[in-house]
Amino acid sequence: MSRIECDLLVIGAGSGGLSVAAGASQMGASVVLLEGHKMGGDCLNYGCVPSKALLASGKAAHRQAHTQAFGVADQRPQPDYAAVKDHVQAVIGTIAPVDSQERFEGLGVRVIREFGRFVSPGEVEAGPHRITARRVVIATGSSPLVPPIPGLDKVPYETNETLFGLREAPEHLLIIGGGPIGMEMAQAHVRLGCKVTVIEGLKALGKDDPEAAALVLDRLRAEGVGIAEGAMVSRIGGQAGAIEVETKDGSLFRGTHLLMAVGRKANTERLNLQAAGIETRANGIKVDDSLRTTNKRVYAIGDVSGGLQFTHVAGYHASIIIRSALFGLPSKAKTSHIPWATYTDPELAQAGLTETQARDIYGVKLEVARFDYSHNDRAIAERKAEGFIKVMVFKGRPVGATIAGHQAGELISLWSLALANRLKMSQIAAMVAPYPSISEVNKRVAGAYFTPRLFESSFVKRAVRLVQRWIP
């Protein structure tokens, strides 16, 4: 067995692990990167990238069928599901070189294509190698959670790790789970000509603002997606092509294919964490605000650390680790400014607190500024005037923003910037957005915050009249 010593060992070549490895190596650290499966991890191969590529195909089909409002005759789309999957794989293939072993070796990283497991608090074994590192970063991500539903082990089902390999369109896709993954895949498939039913035990998009979620769900229902809420699954039966899902209230759903989209679980099974003195929690590895585990030489980032499960969070964690592990500087991860988006059409995005969360914290002192897409000229021109933005404000500073509408996932970045830097609404109002653009909704909601102060204030009106008397 060969022995390797390095400054930094990174376990997992997903987005977070790759960011740490690239940054540390280019800053002069000796870095070893372990990956026993695919470079790029879940995001590139089974998650963000293929799902957005599939959604893009669905959008193309939907646009083709809805052009009459623009003075162009509607056309019946003819989706070729196999060709759509070729598009998905082409998108993955275009991005893959950025995450490739060759690129990272070119950056000076030693890449070992093996899974890693701890054999002591300071040593990791990977195939024929035993590695000792000054610091270790666990970035193994997460996998689809498959709950022990009676009968599930006897029928074929898909997860996000297998769905993109399907070459024939499902005739009727049953989706268990009404979170972002479930709803995105529901809309993509219904737009590609499939019948789709979503079965959710609680509320669909239940972690988002209820008003924003309702807008998105209404659109999906209008497009033909069946959505059953409060439908706890009790049994699954049938066979390939004829699957049955029974719920506790006695309802029975029948379809040809089944997608499990009920959540994610942290990838910790292979790591032998006990040997390193690393504790876990129900949702992943236990970490402190600096992302350190109970073994002070080991960090955990991204999905495996048990927090928000987004690719951009893993990238943010990487920046925290670089500061702490390489320079020994204090650095803590925060969540107050982290945005997230669901890429349905319309999109749904959030940064900071929802209205409900903000009211629970700030009570009657909270103000909510709102602006509707129906007053945005670009949205009207594009026939995308459905939606709204609302910003939760406390003492002149935004504490959260909710957007449901066209390009919400793009617009939310400004509010992450505002939250991260504790900007005031006056600073957002001072921004100039090009006209006509969707981005004007961000400026206009800031204007809506000041409207009652400027145009409905008797004090302002008296001051203006007084000044006008004295101005020559």
CATH number at residue 281: 3.50.50.60
Q: Nearest-CA neighbor of 216 among 85, 49, 350?
A: 350
- Residues whose CB falls within 8 Å of the CB of residue 318, separated by 6 or more in sequence, listed in order: 16, 17, 19, 20, 23, 301
> Residue 284 domain-assigned?
yes
In a domain, 275, yes or no: yes
In this structure, the answer to whether residues 365 and 411 fall within a common structural domain is yes
In a shared domain, residues 242 and 181: yes
Residue 107 included in any domain: yes
Low-confidence ranges of the chain (pLDDT < 70): 454-461, 463-464
Is residue 30 a known part of a binding site? Answer: no
- Both 314 and 399 in one domain: the answer is no
Helices 311-321 & 15-26, crossing angle to 10 degrees? 30
For 380, the domain range is 339-455
What is residue 468's predicted lDDT score, i.e. its pLDDT? Answer: 73
Q: Is 102 annotated as a binding residue?
A: no
Q: 131 among the known binding-site residues?
A: no
Q: Is residue 105 part of a domain?
A: yes
- Tell me: do 132 and 160 sit in the same domain: no
Whether 88 contacts 126, CB under 8 Å? no
What is the token pair recorded at 324?
């702490």
Task: Indicate the residue among 210, 243, 262 that finishes a domain.
Answer: 262
Domain boundary among 245, 262, 279: 262
Residue 179 annotated as part of some ligand binding site: yes
> pLDDT for 29-43, tens place per residue?
999 999 999 999 999
Residue 72 within a domain? no
Q: What is the pLDDT of residue 106?
A: 97
447 is in an annotated binding site: no
Q: Where a domain ends, among 300, 327, 354?
A: 327
pLDDT in tens, 243-292: 999 999 999 999 999 999 999 999 999 999 999 999 999 999 999 999 99
Same domain? 319 vs 206: no
Handedness of CA 308, 20, 43, 270 (dihedral sign): negative
Instruction: Please give the backbone phi and psi of residue 290, each rounded to the nearest 5 degrees, phi first.
Output: -95, 5
Q: Is 140 known to sit in a ligand binding site? A: yes
Does any domain span residue 432? Answer: yes
177 marked as part of a ligand binding site: yes
Place of tokens 């003075």: 71
Say if 449 falls within a structural domain.
Answer: yes
**Residue 424 annotated as part of some ligand binding site:** no
Separation between Cα atoms, residue 412 and residue 409, nearest integer Å: 6
Residue 254 shares a structural domain with residue 315: no
Q: Does residue 289 have a known ligand-binding role?
A: no
Domain membership of residue 239 (yes or no) is: yes
Domains contained in the chain, number: 3
77 marked as part of a ligand binding site: no
Say yes or no: 346 and 426 in one domain.
yes
228 and 182 belong to one structural domain? yes
Are 251 and 167 members of one domain? yes
Q: Is 232 annotated as a binding residue?
A: no
115 and 239 share one domain: no
pTM of this structure = 0.94
SS3 assignment for the chain: CEEEEEEEEEECCCHHHHHHHHHHHHCCCCEEEECCCCCCHHHHHCCHHHHHHHHHHHHHHHHHHCCHHHCCCCCCCCCCHHHHHHHHHHHHHHHHHHHCHHHHHHCCCEEECCCCEEEECCEEEECCEEEEEEEEEECCCEEECCCCCCCHHHCCCECHHHHCCCCCCCCEEEEECCCHHHHHHHHHHHHCCCEEEEECCCCCCCCCCHHHHHHHHHHHHHCCCEEECCCCEEEEEEECCEEEEEECCCCEEEECEEEECCCEEECCHHHCHHHHCCCEECCEECCCCCCECCCCCEEECHHHHCCCCCHHHHHHHHHHHHHHHHHCCCCCCCCCCCEEEECCCCEEEEEECCHHHHHHHHHHHCEEEEEEHHHCHHHHHCCCCCCEEEEEEECCEEEEEEEEECCHHHHHHHHHHHHHCCCCHHHHHCCCCCCCCCCHHHHHHHHHHHHHHHHCCHHHHHHHHHHHHHCC
At residue 196, φ and ψ (nearest 5 deg) are: -135, 135
Q: List CB contacts of 397: < 8 A, sequence separation 6 or more.
A: 422, 423, 424, 425
Would the annotation count 142 as a binding residue? yes
CA distance 322 to 340: 23
Q: According to the model, what pLDDT value does residue 452 have?
A: 82
Other C-beta atoms closer than 10 Å to the C-beta of 68 total 10
pLDDT for position 471: 78
**CATH at 362:** 3.30.390.30
Is the same domain home to 15 and 130? yes
Residue 324, pLDDT score: 87
| Claim to verify: residue 435 and residue 363 sit in the same structural domain | yes
Say what the pLDDT of residue 469 is. Answer: 74
223 is an annotated ligand-binding site residue? no
What is the four-CA torsion angle of 85, 87, 90, 91, rounded to 10 degrees? -110
pLDDT of residue 455: 61
180 known member of a binding site = yes
